Chain A
């Protein structure tokens, strides 16, 4: 999946996460899990809020609930961005 993922989207997602969580950007790698980054469910909701603004998308609750790490998050965002363009 990663090979198809836009590096631009991944980098923007990482930037949003780092800024929202006040984390050094180098800690927010594509393979990092929310658990490793100490992102709890309330932090996660805030990330979704910032990502919706950054990408001008609407992230459904159900899709959001499954996500456990940065790569999955970026993949989900990419899908929604693609749907928006379609």
Chain B
């Protein structure tokens, strides 16, 4: 099996930082956080108040009323992001190529708001004709994002969804990357989508006590936890050969992918698992740790994640861990769970392509256990290689290796 180089020719992103990639990047590179008080839910009975919601998203600006009936918010976001990515890539699919194009998405939750609403009707009906909307199952299935993207463009290649909590999108993009690299298909649409703001899910996060009472402060002293976010991001991947042949603008390259399981604890992270995933991404890409100039960290801002991630980076990169420039953009767009890796992939590709790195916001000062060279203000970036980390609850880790495309 010949190994193809895999390039990114389209990006799409809708998140708390804005409705499209350019708005996302303008705000991200300036370190402007999209985190604020949650407005679309009654939070009176919830211990935390902040989230990273998409402001001003009007579904009917993107879909016909009737089209919206079977579409949960998370799938709407998936399609919106995919449209942006496909419009940019302009893949010029032939009928035969559409039959071969892959769609691989990540989602942690699936259509949680449809499920939550439906179940509230049933359990709260007091015995009066408890019923649930007939489109509840199609709305809540975690693969709805992949299905609707496939239908949107008539893509009939391998299509599926990966659900590995916070690592879902990185696992999805990694799988799509391998499909294209290994010649299974020439083009893939891949990323992640998530819309976690529902009453039931907020109560569940509150009970787990990992969400910050104020904001998200990755790697900072006095950090108090993560902040949930919503959004979707999609990438169009294709073989370098195909992109060059059709004269496409190449935005970046995926150069490696690594996965591992902690096999340790359901919520407490280990150093070993993430370190193995980072190491495997480097081996997969045939790159030495010394070549890594930038990391878009998992960096959730929880007391548990950040020191463990610091130790994992130090274990694999050695001396380079004192030089690599590290950021956690979760401080800007929140932790969008199954979409997180995809939003961060967009950030990583743009960091390498445009030579500027987005800072980590909300930093209060050094935690000696998180002593990485953090990006705390907008800065230039001349890195050739960047890593993007996702480490999920359940101890499932996925790391992508990106490369600046220089022909």
Contacts and interface: CB of A to CB of B under 8 A. Distances in A.
A25 interface: no
Given A49-B207, A60-B47, A42 B213 contact: no
Nearest to B212: A61
B47 A41 contact: no
Interface in A24-55: 40-42, 45, 48-49
A45 B304 CA distance: 14
B47 to A, nearest CB: 6
Contacts of B265: 40, 42
A61 B47 contact: yes
Nearest to A52: B207
B267 interface: yes
Interface residues of A, number: 12
A65 to B, nearest CB: 8
A40 B268 contact: yes
A42 B207 CA distance: 11
A34 B303 CA distance: 19
B interface bracket (residues with beta carbon within 8 Å of A): 10 to 19
A64 B209 contact: yes
B208 interface: yes
A41 B304 contact: yes
Interface in B264-289: 265-268
Contacts of B266: 42
B361 to A, nearest CB: 21
A3 interface: no
A62 B207 contact: no
A40 B266 CA distance: 11
Contacts of B208: 45
Contact of A42 (B224, B267, B303): B267
Contacts of A58: 47
B47 A42 contact: no
A54 to B, nearest CB: 15
B213 A45 contact: no
Contacts of A60: 47
B213 A61 contact: yes
A60 B225 CA distance: 14
A65 B207 CA distance: 13
Contacts of A64: 209
A45 B47 contact: no
Interface string B194-225: 00000000000001110001000000000011
B209 A62 contact: no
B209 A45 contact: yes
Nearest to B48: A61
A61 B268 contact: no
A61 B49 CA distance: 13
A55 to B, nearest CB: 16
A62 B47 CA distance: 11
Interface in B334-351: none
A62 B267 contact: no
B179 to A, nearest CB: 36
A74 to B, nearest CB: 19
Interface string A2-21: 00000000000000000000
Contacts of A45: 207-209
Contacts of B303: 65
A80 to B, nearest CB: 14
Contacts of B213: 61-62
A58 B206 CA distance: 11
Nearest to B213: A61
B222 to A, nearest CB: 11
17 contacts: A40-B265, A40-B268, A41-B268, A41-B304, A42-B267, A45-B207, A45-B209, A48-B209, A49-B207, A58-B47, A61-B47, A61-B209, A61-B213, A61-B225, A62-B213, A64-B209, A65-B303
Interface of A: 40-42, 45, 48-49, 58, 60-62, 64-65
Given A40-B268, A61-B225, 5 more contacts: A40-B265, A42-B266, A61-B209, A62-B213, A62-B224
8 closest A-B pairs by beta carbon, nearest first, are A61-B209, A42-B267, A45-B209, A49-B207, A61-B213, A45-B208, A41-B268, A61-B47
